[in-house]
C-alpha cells in the first residue's frame, strides 16, 4: 500500500458519530445545544511524522498499522497539508543519491503552516558531521528553488544542527484579525490549522462581553492568550514548558500586544501562589502582584490528563470558566467538581482529528 487513503465521502458520517457520542456523554450536565466546528475533509494536519525504510538503493516513508503493527509504504498522506504532500516525494528523491544525507536516516518530521512555511527534521542513528551539514544546506537551497519556504534540522543522539531556523511562523485569521505565532520544532501546537482558527474565534465570542482581567492556565505559546487579549483589561497566563514560554514572549512582541503577561510556572504552583500557601520569586522578579488583578474569568486548556482536584477547586473561585479539552473523559471528571458551583452555558465540539476517535471540546461555565 503506497498511500494512506482516507475516504472523504465518510467525513460527515464520522463527524455525526462524534456529535452523538459527545451529546450522550454529557447529558447529565444539562449542556445546551452542541456547537459543531467541522474540519476540512483532507489536507488538515499541519504536522506529520514518518519512519524511513531502506531497501537496497531505494528509500521511502513508512507508517505502522496501529492494530496489526504491520508497516506499510507511504508516498502520499492526504491527511497532511498540501505543502507536506508536495514536499514528500521531492525530499526523498533528493536524499536518495547523497550518502551523507541518507545513511542511518530513520525518521522525517514535517511541521507546516497555513502561511506557507515548512520545517523538516531529519533524525539519524549516527552522529552528523560537516559533510552532512554542507549537503543539508544544498538540499535546503534546492528545495527552496523549487518554490518551498523551508528550513531543515538534523538530529542525532545529543546533537541538533539547525539549517537556518528551528521554528515556523504561522499566521492565523481570527475574525478579521491576523495573528502571528512562532511554532518551534517539538513544541506543542494545534495540529489542525483551520480548526485552530475556529477554536480561537469561538473563545473570543464566548468572552465578548467580559469585564476585568483574564487568568489563563496551560497557555502554551500564547495561542489563546493573544486572541483573547482584546476582550480583557489584562491577561495573566502561566505555562511550565520553557520553549513554549519563550515562543509566547516572541508572539506577544510580534503582535504588538501590551496587556498580556506570561509566567513560567505549573498550574499546581500557581494554585499555591493564589491561595497564599507559597511565595514564588519568579512572580516577584516579573513584578507580578496577584492581588492587583481583577479576574472573574479563567481560561484553561489542560493536557489530556485534565486538571487535578486542587486546581479544579481553585478554578471554582471564578465566575466564568472557559475550558478547552482534548480528552472528553477527563473533562467529564473535572465537570463532576465544577458543576457543583457552575452550569454549562456554551458547549462545542471541534473536529481537530478527523477519522480518529479523538474529540476536542469546549465548554463555557458560569456560576449558578
The closest of 90, 65, 94, 95 to 75, measured between CA atoms, is 90
213 is in an annotated binding site: no
CA angle 15, 34, 297 (to 5 degrees): 125
- Structure-derived torsion over alpha carbons of residues 257, 261, 266, 272, reported in degrees to the nearest 10: -150
190 is in an annotated binding site: yes
Burial of 368 (0-12, 13-18, 19+ CB in 10 A): exposed
Residue 247, classified by CB atoms within 10 Å of its CB into exposed (0-12), middle (13-18) or buried (19+), is buried
SS3 (DSSP) at 159: strand
Which one-letter DSSP state was computed for residue 109? E
Greatest Cα pair distance, the chain, in angstroms, is: 67
- Catalytic annotation, residues: 326, 360
For residue 143, give the DSSP letter.
H
Which position has the grid cell 450522550? 24
d(C-alpha 205, C-alpha 197), whole Å: 12
Alpha-carbon distance of 33 to 305, in angstroms, equals 26
Cell of 23: 451529546
Query: Residue-wise over 231-246: b if at least 16 C-beta within 10 A, else e?
Result: bbebbbbbbbbebbbb
Q: Give me the residues paired with residue 320 across strands.
A: 297, 366
Phi, psi values for residue 41, rounded to 5°: -80, -10
- With 0-12 / 13-18 / 19 or more C-beta atoms within 10 angstroms meaning exposed / middle / buried, residue 12 is exposed
Asked if 35 and 62 count as a contact pair (C-beta separation under 8 A), the reply is no
Q: Check whether 301 is labelled as a binding-site residue.
A: yes
Grid cell of 368 as nine digits: 449558578
Report whether 201 belongs to an annotated binding site.
Answer: no
> Which residues sit in the known binding site?
190, 218, 223, 239, 301
Question: Could you tell me which residues are annotated as the binding site for S-adenosyl-L-methionine?
Answer: 190, 218, 223, 239, 301
Amino acid at each position: 500500500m503506497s498511500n494512506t487513503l482516507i475516504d472523504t465521502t465518510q467525513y460527515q458520517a464520522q463527524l455525526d458519530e462524534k456529535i452523538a457520542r459527545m451529546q450522550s456523554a454529557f447529558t447529565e450536565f444539562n449542556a445546551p445545544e452542541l456547537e459543531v466546528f467541522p474540519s476540512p475533509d483532507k489536507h488538515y494536519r499541519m504536522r506529520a511524522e514518518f519512519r524511513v525504510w531502506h531497501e537496497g538503493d531505494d528509500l521511502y516513508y513508512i507508517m505502522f498499522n496501529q492494530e496489526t503493527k504491520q508497516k506499510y509504504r507511504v508516498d502520499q498522506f492526504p491527511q497532511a497539508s498540501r505543502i507536506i504532500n508536495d514536499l514528500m516525494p521531492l525530499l526523498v528523491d533528493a536524499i536518495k543519491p547523497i550518502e551523507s544525507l541518507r545513511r542511518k536516516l530513520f525518521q522525517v518530521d514535517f511541521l507546516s503552516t497555513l502561511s506557507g512555511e515548512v520545517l523538516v527534521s531529519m533524525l539519524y542513528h549516527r552522529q552528523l558531521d560537516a559533510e552532512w551539514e554542507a549537503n543539508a544546506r544544498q538540499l535546503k537551497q534546492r528545495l527552496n528553488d523549487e518554490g518551498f519556504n523551508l528550513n531543515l534540522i538534523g538530529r542525532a543522539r545529543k546533537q541538533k544542527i539547525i539549517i537556518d531556523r528551528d521554528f515556523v511562523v504561522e499566521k492565523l485569521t481570527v475574525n478579521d484579525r491576523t495573528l502571528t505565532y512562532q511554532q518551534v520544532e517539538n513544541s506543542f501546537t494545534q495540529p489542525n490549522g483551520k480548526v485552530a482558527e475556529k477554536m480561537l474565534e469561538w473563545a473570543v465570542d464566548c468572552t465578548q462581553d467580559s469585564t476585568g482581567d483574564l487568568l489563563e492556565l496551560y497557555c502554551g505559546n500564547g495561542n489563546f492568550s493573544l486572541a483573547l487579549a482584546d476582550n480583557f483589561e489584562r491577561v495573566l497566563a502561566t505555562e511550565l514548558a520553557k520553549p513554549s514560554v519563550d515562543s509566547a514572549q516572541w508572539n506577544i512582541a510580534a503582535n504588538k500586544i501590551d496587556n498580556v503577561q506570561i509566567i513560567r510556572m505549573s498550574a499546581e504552583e500557581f494554585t499555591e501562589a493564589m491561595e497564599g500557601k507559597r511565595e514564588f520569586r519568579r512572580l516577584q522578579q516579573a513584578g507580578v502582584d496577584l492581588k492587583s488583578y481583577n479576574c472573574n474569568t479563567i481560561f484553561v486548556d489542560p493536557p489530556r490528563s485534565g486538571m487535578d482536584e486542587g486546581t479544579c477547586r481553585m478554578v471554582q473561585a471564578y465566575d466564568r470558566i472557559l475550558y478547552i479539552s482534548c480528552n472528553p473523559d477527563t473533562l467529564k471528571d473535572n465537570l463532576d467538581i465544577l458543576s457543583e458551583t457552575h452550569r454549562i452555558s456554551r458547549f462545542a465540539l471541534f473536529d481537530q482529528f478527523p477519522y480518529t476517535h479523538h474529540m476536542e471540546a469546549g465548554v463555557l461555565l458560569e456560576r449558578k
